[in-house]
Each structure stands twice: as C-alpha cells, then as structure tokens.
Amino acid sequence: MPVTRFTAYSQTMPSPSSPSLDEKIGQMLMVGFRGATVDENHFIVRDIQKYHLGGVILFDYDVINAQWQRNIVSPPQVKALISSLQQVSIRPLLIAIDQEGGHVARLNERTGFPATCSHMELGQQDDLSRTLTETAKLARTLADIGVGLNLAPVIDLCSNPDNPVIAKYERCFSADPQKVAEHALHYIRAHHQHGILTTLKHFPGHGSSRSDSHLGLTDVSASWSARELLPYQQIISAGQADVIMTAHVFNRQLDSEYPATLSKATIHGILRQQLGFEGVVISDDMQMGAIVDYYGFDVAISKALAAGIDILVFGNNLHYDEQVVPRAIAVIKDLIRNGTLREERIDQSYQRIMRLKRSAKLDWN
C-alpha cells in the first residue's frame, strides 16, 4: 500500500484562504544548507520558522568547499536530520533530493546506502520489470529516511552521446522518446507505490546540449527537436507528472530572448497550454551559471515567476547565501507592491504546492 506522507501535519495545515502573503511566498522557495544536524541557531531553522520556508534540498557533496558529507553521513543521521527539520515546521516540508540512480545519487554506498542503477543502464537493458524492481529499491530508501520528493526521473533524450552533463553521467534512458516515457512511467510507479513524489526534468529538453548549464549559457537552438517534448506529453496525459523541473537552456526555437526557466512562452505557452500540465513547476538551481552570470538576482526571480515557476530552488551549493530566503521574499513583495507581479499569481502557485503536498498518498492506475 502507498505510504501516507505528512500525516503528522494534516490537522495543522491551514486552509488556502488563511495564510498571509509571507506564508504563501515562503512555500514557493526551496533552499539548500550546510550541516548534518541543525539546531535553533541554524539559518535553515530560522527560515522555516520565521519565513515559512516550504522546502529544503539535501546534498552529499559541498561544491564550494570541495568536501563530502555536507548533509549526508549515514542513513540514521539523514533520517534524524529530516525528522528534526519537519518538527520545527508547522506545515509539511518538501524534503527533496537528486536520487536519480547511478552517478547521480546523493544517497550512495559511500555513506552506507544501497547501490543504484543509472537511467542509461536500465534503458540499455530495456526490461521494464527490472526498471520497476530496481527503482522500487531506490524509492524504499527514500521512504525509509523521510524524503518526500525525488528530483527524478530525467526524461531528457540521449540524443547527444557526448553531452557533458546528461549522457556523460548516464542520466538518460534512451534516444527513443517512447522508450524514455515507458521507463519513466515505471520509475514513477515505483516511487508512487512508496509514497514518494517525482520530478520530470529538464524541460523542455537538455539531452542535445553540448555544454553544462551549471557553468554558463547552454544554447540548444540548433540541436533541440520537438521530439524531446514527447515523453512529457505522454506522462502528463497519463496523469503521472507530479512536478516538472525547467532547464536553464536557451532555445531560440521556443523563445528568442530568455532561457526556459525565465521563458513565459516555454512554461506557460508550451508546458501549461500546449501540454496541459496543471501541477507544480520547479526551477533548476537559480544559482547556476546560466542564470547568475547573465541575470541579476531580482531580474531572475521576476522573470521566473512571470514565466510560471511555482518553486524557486536555491541550492546554496554553487553560491552560499544564508540570507537568500529573506532576500528572495523581499524581491517578490517589491514586485507585488510596484505592480509588476499580481498577488493572484502567488495564490496560483501556493494552491498548486498545497495540492502537491496533500497528494502524497499516491496510487498507480
């Protein structure tokens, strides 16, 4: 049977009409932090309690300090860390992690977690029952420690075998969109059976890229194909898309001015209107080079929200800013005050996020 997440908070979660503007904005942020434990003096606890932070993201490796064990030391430690974070929040937190499998698995053998299979390995074997079985093991690990949202599966096509950030790390099932969709649906099914939400990424397609958007501008205008939308279309139509993550890729075919995360034409036009997705849209890390090197903090937030992003991610692993939550909230409130952003837009995202958190009891049809 599916596991019900967030049960302890089901009676205290406010009705959609009761929260303040600050509370609604706080739910739209997901932030990373340093530490295998937290106490009342940690900024992440402050952000949860004072600023109503809605989600956190865990990492095993601290990029800036070039050190392992940033948040993850052992299974009992991570479980205790997650529990302590949930206990200080009056609402259920979205605890998120990149646990794709294979090379991209924050919970790995180094810290006592089971080995996992990469998307590419599963796609090459092309045995859907094995994809379901192997992913069920992965999902059970997440359920056991209290992670509620896996930032996976990757449904980018393996269209460029030399892709430095997707194919190089075996993060794609196949170059065939139908095969990608089939394996992704089984991957999602295994998660849903254990009460774990999933995230399709990286919309509208990162598989053809020749550069890494963590490091700077990634232009897929000449290499991207509309075939890369097919897995999204199929999974959305099947009603199995919980969350979709945008890519910081520039694609002139879709928007001649902004990368996907900041593109209303891409998110609202294609994802919402053309593909009919009504769920939560989450950004890739807003501190990645493709964003911070070309757009200021204020502009990036403004454009992302105008485009249709519901949750802004600040991983604090490429840049570390303990004030990023109050800074982001101040920017969003200024946008509302000066008329650039309507409060109704915040309401829309808040409603989607609350529906997502309430949907943690999941069924597979």
Answer whether 104's CB lies under 8 Å from 25's CB: no
Q: Which residues of 106-127 are buried (b: 16+ CB within 10 A; e: fewer)?
A: bbbeebebeebbbbbbbbeeee
Copy the structure tokens of residue 211.
């550069």
> Residues near 274 by Cβ (< 8 Å), separated by ≥ 6?
none
Q: Name the active-site residue from 206, 214, 242, 248.
A: 214
214 catalytically annotated: yes
Answer whether 250's CB lies under 8 Å from 293's CB: no
Residue 92 CA neighbour count, 13 Å, CB half: 24
Which residue's structure tokens are 């692993």? Answer: 317
Q: Name the active-site residue from 98, 255, 284, 310.
A: 284
> Residues near 102 by Cβ (< 8 Å), separated by ≥ 6?
116, 117, 118, 119, 120, 121, 169, 170, 171
What stretch of H or E contains 353? Answer: helix 343-358
The Cα–Cα gap between 123 and 300 comes to: 35
Give the DSSP per-residue string, 174-241.
-S-HHHHHHHHHHHHHHHHHTT-EEEEEEET--TT-SS-TTTS-EE-TTT--GGGGHHHHHHHHTT--
Catalytic residues: 214, 284
